[in-house]
Amino acid sequence: MQAAPQARAEKSEQRVSETDPEARNMKQSDGGYAPSHNVQIATDTAHGIIVGASLTQAANDQHELVAGLGEVERQTGQKPQHWVVDEGYTTRENILAAAEKGVDLIGSSPEPDAEAATRRLQQRGVDAAFYPDRFNYDSGSDSSTCPQGKRLAYGTTKQDRVGVERKVYQARASDCRDCPFRPQCCPGGKRRSLVRSLPVPVVAAYTAKMQTEAAQSLYRLRAPVAEFSNLWLKAKLGLRQFAVRGLRKVRCEVLWACLTYNIQQWYRLRWKVGLQPTGS
């Protein structure tokens, strides 16, 4: 039996490039989408030299940090002392991975889960007056108190998310049974429960570190160093669009472009040395 041919997709619905099937549809700086490759570039802060370059089909950067560290170590023979990244890489998974490899990660703070938790409460029909921020937590007894003064005792700790411990607190069923605010607080449930999400020690230490001036001064180095090499490749070499197709060929074009950049950087650095005054 032969399957019936599918209708041809409209141009706006196409997700595969007809000229480069190894490209992937990715969001562009203008807000649109186009078949693209994700180029990962690592630059050293001392001289602005590109020390790692790779190519991926991933639409975002979240899962590229470990591979980037491996590429830099392969090219230079050593791990970087500090790994300064933008917010696209600062996930709890990457914080833990960098710590495991003994690399000091410098970046933004990971996004809290508060917005996702609020959406879940809204979907359940919980009134805003009974959101978690309206409950008072007491560290001495490790318990929370609801807006009506009822105690929620600690029950268990869930470790179902990377880098986070979720402590669950529950009220007694007898306290919620006759509460006049039960429909607003725990609609459809017998008693109210509350979850406190706490970062694991490694993530908590990273967050505390990024509040220090020393870490922030390193973080401020990222933009002038990383963006310069990226902009140079785009503006000087026109690497906004590849001249070849296929991952292997595109990777070659990226490497040639990075090599050209490094050679010109080397000439510039040597020229600056030549301008230094010599002793008499």
Residue 250 neighbours by CB under 8 Å, 6+ apart: 37, 55, 242, 244
Q: What is the CATH number of the domain that holds 40?
A: 3.30.420
Higher pLDDT, 237 or 275: 237
Query: 103 and 23 in one domain?
Result: yes
Average pLDDT taken over every residue of the chain: 86
Query: 219 and 249 in one domain?
Result: yes
- Tell which of 167, 198, 229 closes a domain: 198
Whether residue 279 is contained in a domain is answered as no
Integer CA distances (angstroms), 56 to 12, 22, 105, 152, 276, in order: 24, 10, 22, 48, 42
Portion of the chain with pLDDT greater than 90, in percent: 48
Query: 105 and 25 in one domain?
Result: yes
Whether residue 217 is contained in a domain is answered as yes
Burial class (CB in 10 A: 0-12, 13-18, 19+), 131: middle
Structurally, how many domains does the chain consist of?
Answer: 2
Whether residue 205 is contained in a domain is answered as no
- Indicate the Cα dihedral angle 95, 100, 106, 107, nearest 10°: -20
Whether residue 194 is contained in a domain is answered as yes
Query: 102 and 60 in one domain?
Result: yes
pLDDT at residue 120 in the model: 85
What integer is the mean pLDDT of 49-58? 91
Instruction: Please answer whether residues 92 and 164 qualify as being in contact, where contact means their C-beta atoms are separated by less than 8 angstroms.
Output: yes
Query: 73 and 128 in one domain?
Result: no
- Predicted confidence band at 9 (pLDDT cuts at 50, 70, 90)? very low
pTM of the model: 0.76
Q: Is residue 1 predicted with pLDDT exceeding 60? A: no
Higher pLDDT, 112 or 109: 109
Portion of the chain with pLDDT greater than 70, in percent: 89
71 lies in which domain range?
A: 14-109+210-272
Query: 101 and 38 in one domain?
Result: yes
Query: 229 and 96 in one domain?
Result: yes
Q: How far apart are CA 164 and CA 181, in angstroms?
A: 31
- Predicted confidence band at 106 (pLDDT cuts at 50, 70, 90)? very high
Query: 78 and 31 in one domain?
Result: yes
Collect contacts of 53-58 with beta carbons under 8 A, ≥24 apart.
53/254, 53/255, 53/258, 54/251, 55/247, 55/250, 55/251, 55/254, 57/22, 57/23, 57/24, 57/247, 58/24
Whether residue 130 is contained in a domain is answered as yes
pLDDT at residue 215 in the model: 94
What integer is the mean pLDDT of 207-226? 92
List residues bridging with 198 in a β-sheet.
Answer: 165
Most confident of 116-125, 136-145, 228-237: 136-145
- Tell which of 151, 170, 198 closes a domain: 198
pLDDT at residue 15 in the model: 58
Whether residue 46 is contained in a domain is answered as yes
Query: 127 and 40 in one domain?
Result: no
What integer is the mean pLDDT of 91-102? 93
- Lowest mean pLDDT across 1-15, 170-184, 213-227: 1-15
pLDDT at residue 72 in the model: 93
pLDDT at residue 87 in the model: 87
- Lowest mean pLDDT across 182-191, 202-211, 235-244: 235-244
Query: 96 and 41 in one domain?
Result: yes
Q: How far apart are CA 201 and CA 147, in angstroms?
A: 30
